[in-house]
């Protein structure tokens, strides 16, 4: 057990480890890894670090448990409410031990659309306050959130010279006057202030189990209903939602966060109001909820609402739907079209690209046949690609060798070729 400093409020655990390095007077990153993790393979990760159980072991047992560190000193709570419960549990297990990048993949699907942070950022005036309170600087997690460019109290964030995901991945670096140039700050606008307040709510939510995708689906459906964005009895009016989003948010803010392709049939905005099959990022949730709810709201209330959604109704609807089977002629016709497409494109992927609607229809209405057919097609293609006609290859080689010999046997400028030379080189390679 080493004397790891206590983390400060909102401090990244990455930063606590970096401060230990300074306090212990360590220069070598390897020595730091030995001290803290007893493992030189640990990657210094700013946002979603692993090996937290090793860190927790350096504190008295009643002080911190692992989930506390994940929820108070990493960016995990920004993603946790939006991934299904089983994945949340899996991510916590990865953070306790190691994940070999799996955690970024599991969460990354929803984070990848947001702009990436290139350098660890800081707020110069917060540094002043930290120095006054604690006599040193540390990296706050509030500064490292993709999509947030300001400190809520003071103004725009500045880039340090410390890379967020550096090539030399094993060093933990604390803020110093050397890697943070203090420059004047730009001011905070209203939207930034709003986003930061919502993100602070997420970061301070108590640890809880995550809602299911079905509950999120039902929540957004009822949100659309209560905001009069429903056509007929149950169809989402995507145009009405689009108008509300455009009225509330500037194009600039949406563009800087890669969330501006709102009209797209396959874009995030339509996706979040359809059946959820993947998770959405905190920014997408904030933008959608804020556009439709024309009143103050908090994530605490939203989480209660989402988790109270009973999903029996939609499943009843799907059951009723699945009882109405399409007639066999239609199934037969669509099967034929699909087989034709596979033949034409030589792959399931290619066929799917050409007729996505057919792919979805067969998946819904003729799943067993569809999956089996696709599986067989995959299997059939692989061995074909690997088949080699050895006899043909041998005779081609022999023909080429005879040709080479015919061309070169009377060329006296070439090196000597004899049985002896060949035998000698074989002997040499045997001796190797």
Q: Footprint of Zn ion on this chain (CB under 5 A)?
A: 123, 125-126, 151, 153-154
Least distance in angstroms from the C-beta of 210 to Zn ion: 31
Measured from the CB atom, the residue of 194 and 363 that comes closer to Zn ion is 194
Least distance in angstroms from the C-beta of 185 to Zn ion: 8
What secondary structure, in 3-state letters, does 328-379 show?
HHHHHHHHHHHHHHHHHHCCHHHHHHHCHHHHHHHHHHCHHHHHHHHHHHHH
Nearest Cα to Cα of residue 272 among 242, 299, 305, 252 = 242
Least distance in angstroms from the C-beta of 277 to Zn ion: 39
Least distance in angstroms from the C-beta of 123 to Zn ion: 3
Measured from the CB atom, the residue of 199 and 241 that comes closer to Zn ion is 199
Pairing label, strands 158-163, 155-156: unpaired
User: What does the DSSP 8-state code read for residue 263?
Assistant: S
Q: In the chain, how long is the greatest CA-to-CA distance? A: 94
Measured from the CB atom, the residue of 153 and 393 that comes closer to Zn ion is 153
Least distance in angstroms from the C-beta of 67 to Zn ion: 28
Cβ-based neighbours of 392, under 8 Å, separated by 6 or more = none
Least distance in angstroms from the C-beta of 98 to Zn ion: 34
Measured from the CB atom, the residue of 177 and 383 that comes closer to Zn ion is 177
**Alpha-carbon gap, residue 261 to 254, rounded angstroms:** 9
Measured from the CB atom, the residue of 91 and 151 that comes closer to Zn ion is 151
Measured from the CB atom, the residue of 125 and 208 that comes closer to Zn ion is 125
**Alpha-carbon gap, residue 241 to 409, rounded angstroms:** 81
**Alpha-carbon gap, residue 354 to 368, rounded angstroms:** 22
């Amino acid at each position: 057990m080493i004397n790891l400093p206590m983390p400060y409020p909102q401090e990244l655990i990455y930063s606590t480890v970096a401060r230990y390095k300074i306090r212990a007077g360590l220069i070598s990153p390897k020595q730091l890894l030995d001290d803290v993790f007893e493992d030189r393979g640990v990657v210094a990760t700013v946002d979603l670090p692993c090996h937290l159980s090793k860190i927790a072991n350096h504190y008295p047992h009643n002080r911190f448990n692992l989930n506390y560190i994940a929820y108070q000193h990493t960016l995990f709570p920004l993603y946790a409410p939006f991934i299904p419960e089983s994945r949340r549990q899996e991510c916590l297990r990865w953070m306790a031990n190691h994940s070999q990048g799996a955690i970024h993949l599991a969460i990354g699907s929803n984070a990848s659309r947001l702009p990436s942070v290139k350098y660890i950022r800081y707020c110069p005036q917060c540094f002043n306050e930290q120095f006054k309170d604690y006599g040193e600087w540390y990296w706050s997690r509030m500064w490292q959130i993709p999509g947030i460019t300001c400190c809520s109290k003071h103004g725009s964030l500045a880039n340090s010279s410390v890379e967020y995901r550096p090539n030399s991945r094993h060093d933990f670096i604390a803020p110093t006057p050397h890697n943070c140039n203090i420059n004047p700050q730009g001011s905070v606008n209203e939207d930034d202030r709003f986003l930061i307040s919502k993100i602070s709510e997420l970061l301070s939510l108590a640890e809880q189990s995550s809602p299911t995708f079905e509950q999120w689906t039902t929540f957004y459906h009822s949100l659309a209903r209560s905001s009069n964005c429903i056509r007929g009895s149950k169809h989402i009016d995507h145009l009405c939602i689009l108008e509300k989003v455009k009225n509330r948010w500037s194009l600039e803010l949406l563009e800087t966060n890669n969330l501006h392709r709102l009209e797209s049939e396959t874009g995030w905005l339509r996706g979040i109001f359809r059946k959820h099959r993947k998770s959405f990022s905190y920014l997408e949730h904030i933008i959608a909820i804020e556009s439709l709810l024309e009143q103050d709201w908090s994530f605490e209330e939203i989480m209660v609402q989402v988790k109270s959604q009973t999903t029996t109704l939609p499943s009843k609807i799907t059951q009723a739907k699945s009882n109405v089977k399409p007639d066999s002629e239609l199934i037969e016709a669509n099967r034929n079209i699909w087989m034709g497409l596979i033949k034409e494109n030589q792959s399931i992927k290619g066929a799917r690209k050409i007729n996505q609607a057919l792919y979805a229809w067969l998946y819904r209405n003729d799943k067993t046949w569809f999956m089996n057919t696709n599986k067989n097609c995959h299997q059939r293609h692989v061995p074909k690609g690997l088949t080699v006609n050895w006899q043909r290859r041998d005779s081609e080689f022999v023909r080429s060798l005879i040709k080479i010999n015919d061309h070169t046997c009377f060329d006296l400028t070439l090196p000597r070729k004899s049985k002896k030379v060949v035998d000698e080189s074989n002997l040499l390679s045997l001796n190797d």
